[in-house]
Amino acid sequence: MSDKMEQILDLVSELIKDKRTNDKWSAGEDWVKYSGPHFSDEEYRAAIEVLLSEWLIFGKNAREFENQFPQHLGKKHGCLTNSGSSANLLMVSTLTSKNKLPEKFRLNKGDKIITPIVCFPTTINPLIQNGLVPVFVDVELPSVNLDLDKVEEVLEADVNREIKGIMFAHVLGNPPDMDRLMSLVEKYDLIFLEDACDALGSTYDGRKLGSFGLMSTCSFFPAHHMTMGEGGFIATDNRRIRKVISSFRDWGRACFCNDLKPGDVTSGTACGNRFNKWLPGCPEAVYDHRYVFDEIGYNLKPLDLQAAMGLQQLKKLPEMDDARRKNFDKLYQIFKPYEEYLYLPKATEKSDPCWFGFLLVVKPDAPFKKEEFVRHMEWARIQTRSYFTGNALYHPAYKHIACEHEDLKSEFPNAHVVTLGSVFLGTFIGLTDDKLEHIKNTVDFFFSRIDKE
Please give the positions annotated as active site. Answer: 224
CA dihedral angle for residue 219, residue 224, residue 228, residue 233, rounded to 10 degrees: -20
Q: Which residues, at least 6 apart from 413, have a Cβ–Cβ distance to it below 8 Å?
A: 138
Reply yes or no: is the peptide bond before residue 413 cis, omega within 30 of 0: no
**Separation between Cα atoms, residue 366 and residue 12, nearest integer Å:** 51
450 near 367, Cβ under 8 Å?
A: yes
The alpha carbon dihedral of 62, 64, 68, 70 has a sign of positive
CB contact at 8 A, 38 and 20: no
Q: At what angle do helices 370-379 and 433-452 cross, to 10 degrees?
A: 140
Q: Could you tell me where the DSSP H helices lie in 121-191?
A: 121-129, 148-157, 178-187
What's the first-to-final CA gap in the chain, in angstroms? 68
d(CA 343, CA 345): 7
Cα separations in angstroms, 135 against 30, 217, 359, 393, 401: 43, 21, 25, 12, 10
CA distances (Å), 254 to each of 20, 49, 217, 261, 296, in order? Answer: 46, 31, 23, 14, 11
DSSP 368: S
